[in-house]
A and B are shown apart, each in its own frame.
Chain A
Amino acid sequence: MGIEVRSVYKRFGAFTAVNGVSVDIKDGEFFVMLGPSGCGKTTTLRMIAGLELPSDGQIKINGRDVTYEEPRHRDIAMAFQDYGLYPHLSVFQNIEFPLKVRKIAEGERRKKVHATAEKLGIAEYLNRKPGQISGGQRQRVSLARALVRNPRVFLMDEPLSNLDAKLRATMRTEIKKLVTSLGITTVYVTHDQIEAMSMADRIAVMRKGDMVQVATPLEIYDRPRTEFVADFIGSPPMNLFPAHFDRKKGIAASVQPFADSLSGEVADKASSFADAQGQFFVGVRPEHLLIVGDGAEGAASASVDFVEPLGQTTNVYVDCGGHKFIVVTDRTEARVGDVVGVLVAPGKSRLVAPN
């Protein structure tokens, strides 16, 4: 069941915010929509919530067509980036609100509010107003308010982006644990790749209103489908080497040894990644490049531009005939100006489509 999104469009005048998105989100799945600002991820979420109506397309929640249904009839809960708490109500009353408007008896309301507050560790703040607690506590209140009535679907719009880095990291694991243990279908919007990677069962990477790739976090990391995904996920990002595919001449790349390192099986698929002009990229993660002696077999010869020791790893910026890229390695003897050989770890070069 879960959530079915069928060729959904959202247009604001001449601008298309969401460009025919289709995706099936499975029951109980933690689904993350990831992308830079303006990519349509929040608009897609708001259409699932019913806060925006699609210009075209269909949305089903648990098998029921809710495309034009009001939010309150969708049996969903939502957490907002700025928490969306009711400033005039106490924490208790905030959490109680969804139960109260549904006319649930007072005794039961009280029991549920206390149980939920307990679970989220905010029981001691129940009498405070949202203005009197910290950002992290406010986000917990908004989660408690969402969870108090056991929704089938939980939508989260960048819930952690107003928190500091340390709190973000702990809340990340807490949220993931909580919704997984409750088995709620969750759609989570973020621009933070670490949140997406660490929390998601599946990630949808969005760009300019399109879902570019929908896959598990490791699949996205290991096999980014396009230039955009390769560049957006991973820090430092994947090295992309412009390449050209020709049926007769085979693959020609800016750094030829990397193209040659593609296994025959992978190279056969090049035509499906290349655009009409035969252009595509050979992509290699920086940590899958090895620095070896210059002239080693199969290695590309490159000069070292800059060395950035980070302690655990070292970023080595190299230049191979004008093509600059990054190698992430352990500690290295390489110095600026050295000429070294760079080798791809076996089976680690990828085909990446242009945008």
Chain B
Amino acid sequence: MTVSLEGLPVATDRAKRAGERYTGMILLAPTMIIMTVVGLFPLLHSLYMSLTGYRPSDPDKFQGFVGLANYADAVSDAQFLHSILLTLLFTVLSVGLSLTLAVLLALLFNVRLPGFTLLRTIIIVPMLITPIAVGITWRIMMMPDLGVLNYVLSLVGIPPQPWAGEKASAMASMLLVDVWQWTPFMFLIIFAGLSALPKSPFEAAAIDGASPIQTFFMVTLPMLKPVIVIASLLRIVDAIRTYDTVYIITRGGPDFATDLLSIYLARVNFRFFSLGYGAALSWLTLLIILAVVLIFVKYTGFMRMVNEKEAR
């Protein structure tokens, strides 16, 4: 009698694969459970909260389920809209400035002169400092009468500036601090990207007759684009959420001149304890970040770059 073995290997193969999947699921389970508890649950809970009038500080006035009322309030909340515009302005300027500076620095350091390694390490330092410490340091440096900034200005004959103390210059001062702290981060990524670029296209450009400026705009910048896009994306998300330094230096003032989204959010949540309304604002902020990122991704052709890379 002959036994047909046809199909047998396939069957065992399938059984084995099912077994593997089962093992995989067991191994992943602890992480999945923790992620659900600490990630997904608070997220969903905050979504629920945003639909209530929850105010722990004021139990008498506790309102139950209010539907979309919080969201409706938010849309007509002038303070909120002011914060959104301020935050977008802050983000565009901060990311734009630090990107420009970082690219220039990366180009400079790419020349590789002696001593640049040490200098490069020093340049990285600001991003390593805790934002709170950065805020305190700059606040002291920006003090109108005692701060070192005005002292330095006085040395070159410039009158003392109010820095964060006046509405007109507060935002610029916050940008200065943010750019100072985060340019190193951009620099690091872009410098690494620049160092990793193949050499021969640049040599080809030199021989093809391109001037240094033509080479920068026609070869360097386009080849760096993927790195620039990723660095900017990370910075954009971070800049929209800026909190610590600004809170330490101005607490959103003077006269709401630096009242960024996260600062307004913190005030609503933890000063007014309007946790329901605060949750709604948080969700709107998330939507704003998503919208900005999506627009950015679409405009820069980021997904196309990723796909091209994968196709290769």
- Tell me the complex Cα distance, A81–B207, Å: 15
B218 near A101: Cβ-Cβ < 8 Å:
yes
Binds A, one of B112-120, B121-129, B219-227: B219-227
**Complex: how many Å from CA A89 to CA B198?**
15
Q: Is the CB of A184 closer than 8 A to any CB of chain B?
A: no
A84 in contact with B308 given A98-B208, A101-B209 (CB within 8 Å): no
Does the CB pair A72–B204 fall under 8 Å? no
Let me know if A47 is at the binding interface, CB within 8 A: no
Evaluate contact between B207 and A49: CB separation under 8 angstroms. yes
Does residue A97 face the partner (Cβ distance < 8 Å to B)? yes
Q: What residues of chain B lie closer than 8 Å to A77, measured between beta carbons?
A: 207-208
* Minimum distance in angstroms from A16 CB to a CB of chain B: 22
A102 in the interface (beta carbon within 8 A): yes
Asked if A84 contacts B209 (CB within 8 A), the reply is: no
Residues 223-258 of B, flagged 1 when their CB comes within 8 A of A and 0 if not, give 101000000000000000000000000000000000
Interface residues of A in 143-193 (CB under 8 A from B): 145, 149
In the complex, how many angstroms separate the beta carbon of B167 from the nearest chain A beta carbon?
44
* Contact assessment for B207 and A76 in the assembled complex, using a CB-CB cutoff below 8 Å: yes
Q: Which of A188-228 contact B (CB under 8 A)?
A: none
Decide if A129 is an interface residue (CB 8 Å cutoff): yes
A82 at the interface (CB under 8 A from B): yes
Most A-side CB within 10 Å, residue of B200, B209, B211, B225: B209
| Given A87-B223, A88-B222, A97-B218, also A102-B204 (CB < 8 A) | no
Q: Which residues of A contact B219 (CB under 8 A)?
A: 86
Question: Residue A136 at the B interface, CB < 8 A?
Answer: no
A71 and B206: CB pair below 8 A?
Answer: yes
Most chain B CB atoms below 10 A, which of A78, A82, A86: A86
Given contacts A87-B223, A97-B218, A101-B214, contact A82 B200 (CB under 8 A): yes
Please tell me which one of the listed residues B201, B207, B209, B218 contacts residue A85 in the complex, with CB atoms under 8 A apart: B201
Question: Chain A contacts of B198 at CB under 8 A?
Answer: 82, 84
Q: Is A51 an interface residue (CB 8 A)?
A: yes
Check A51–B203 contact: CB distance below 8 A: yes
| Distance A101 CA – B214 CA, assembled complex (angstroms) | 7
Tell whether A309 is near chain B: CB-to-CB under 8 Å. no
Q: B312 in the interface, Cβ–Cβ < 8 Å?
A: yes
Map CB proximity to B onto A72-107 as digits: 1 under 8 Å, 0 otherwise. 101011101111111111000000011011100000
A87: which B residues are within 8 A, CB to CB? 201, 223
- B205 at interface (Cβ–Cβ under 8 A)? yes
Q: How far is the CB of B219 from chain A (nearest CB, A)?
A: 6
Q: Is A131 in contact with chain B by the CB < 8 A criterion?
A: yes
How far in angstroms is the closest Cβ of chain A from B294? 23
**Minimum Cβ distance to chain B for residue A113 (Å):** 13
| B101 contacts chain A at the CB level, 8 A cutoff | no
Q: Is the CB of B200 within 8 A of A84?
A: yes
Does residue A70 face the partner (Cβ distance < 8 Å to B)? Answer: yes
Q: Check if A98 sits within 8 Å of B203, measured CB to CB.
A: no
Counting chain B CB atoms within 10 Å of each CB, which of A70, A87, A145 scores highest?
Answer: A87
- Please determine whether A131 and B308 come into contact, CB atoms closer than 8 angstroms: yes
Residue interface mask B178-211, A partner, CB < 8 A = 1:
0000000000000000000010110111111111
Closest to B226 in A: A88
Contact A72 B211 (CB under 8 A): yes
Number of contact residues on B: which range applies? Answer: 20 to 34
Q: Is the CB of A83 within 8 A of B200?
A: yes
Are A88 and B207 also in contact (CB < 8 A) when A82-B198, A82-B200, A97-B218 are?
no
What is the chain A residue whose CB lies nearest that of B209? A72
Once the chains bind, are A102 and B209 in contact (CB under 8 Å)? yes
Which chain B residue shows the least CB distance to A93? B218
- Residues of A contacting B218 with CB < 8 Å? 86, 97, 100-101
Question: Cα distance A82–B204 when bound, in Å?
Answer: 11
Q: In the complex, which residues of chain A have a beta carbon less than 8 angstroms from the beta carbon of B211? A: 72, 101
**Residues B200 and A72 in contact, CB atoms below 8 Å apart:** no
**What residues of B have a CB within 8 angstroms of the CB of A86 in the complex?**
201, 204-205, 218-219, 222-223
The answer to whether A145 touches B223, judged by C-beta atoms less than 8 angstroms apart, is no
Q: Which residues of B contact A50 (CB under 8 A)?
A: 206-207
Q: Which of A71, A131, A132 contacts B207 (CB 8 A)?
A: A71
- Which of A50, A80, A81, A129 counts the most B-chain CB atoms under 10 A from its CB? A80
Min CB–CB distance B197 → chain A (angstroms) = 9
Contact A88 B210 (CB under 8 A): no
Query: Which of the residues B210, B222, B308, B312 comes within 8 Å of A72, measured between beta carbons?
Result: B210
A72 to B218, CA, bound (A): 15
Tell me the bound Cα distance from A49 to B204 in angstroms: 10
Name the residue on B nearest A86 (C-beta). Answer: B201
Do B201 and A84 touch (CB < 8 A)?
A: yes
Min C-beta distance of B130 to chain A, whole Å: 39
Cα of A86 to Cα of B222 in the assembled complex, Å: 9
Whether A78 contacts B223 in the complex (CB less than 8 A), given A72-B210, A101-B214, A131-B312, comes out as no
Instruction: List, in ascending order, chain B residues with CB within 8 A of A72's CB.
Output: 206-211
Q: Residue on A with the closest CB to B223?
A: A88
> Are B312 and A145 closer than 8 Å at their CB atoms?
no
Cβ distance B186 to chain A, nearest Cβ, rounded Å:
21
Map CB proximity to B onto A34-61 as digits: 1 under 8 Å, 0 otherwise.
Answer: 0000000000000001110000000000
A145 touches B203 (CB 8 A): no
What is the distance, in angstroms, from A13's C-beta to the closest C-beta of chain B? 14
A112 to chain B, nearest CB (A): 14
Q: A84-B200, A84-B203, A86-B218 known; 6 other A-B pairs, CB under 8 Å?
A: A50-B207, A84-B204, A85-B201, A86-B205, A98-B208, A101-B208
- The 11 sampled A-B contact pairs (Cβ below 8 Å) are A49-B203, A71-B203, A71-B206, A72-B208, A77-B208, A82-B198, A83-B200, A89-B222, A98-B208, A129-B308, A131-B312
Q: Residues of A with Cβ closer than 8 Å to B? A: 49-51, 70-72, 74, 76-78, 80-89, 97-98, 100-102, 129, 131-132, 142, 145, 149
Question: Can you list the 8 inter-chain pairs with the closest CB atoms, starting with the nearest?
Answer: A84-B200, A84-B204, A98-B208, A88-B222, A101-B210, A71-B206, A72-B209, A80-B200
